[in-house]
Structure 1
Amino acid sequence: MNLVTRIALVLVIIGAINWGLVGLFNYDLVAGIFGNGSQAAAFPRIIYSLVGLAGLVSISALFLERKEVEQASTNKA
């Protein structure tokens, strides 16, 4: 798993946690941290866009062969 895929996976996890908070508690963590006012609205949109792109990049992980995944995990150790 290369660096881009790892970063994408981290962003996807952040997005999943954010959506979980929205679904369970109606709280948008990204907007809460970076503001949801009209002047600060651009930064959360950038974060949401990066998470969306990370989701698209992460699709490639679905097509990794099992051997590639096992090799990547053994190479780390």
Structure 2
Amino acid sequence: MFTVEDYEDSFEFRLFNEDYLKFRHFLVPNSFIHCKIKIKEGWIDKKTGKPTDPRINFMAMQQLQDLMASSAKN
């Protein structure tokens, strides 16, 4: 489990299996990271038939200091 926070709020996330192995080197305390995510619909609760909370899939992470160089177009 890791926490992402800014000046106003904080959110806790969990990564499992391959996602954890792929991104664990970015999960360093007090580091600034850029996360590319995909939000998917939640699962349907079999008991109630209602959707659960949306799921967040982490697609990519990088250190914030590297964002400008990797995103800038020549």
Q: TM-score over 0.5 for the alignment?
A: no
TM score, norm. by length of structure 2 = 0.26
- Which protein, 1 or 2, shows the higher relative CO under an 8 Å CA cutoff with sep ≥ 6? 1
Bigger strand fraction:
2
TM score, norm. by length of structure 1 = 0.25
Bigger helix fraction:
1
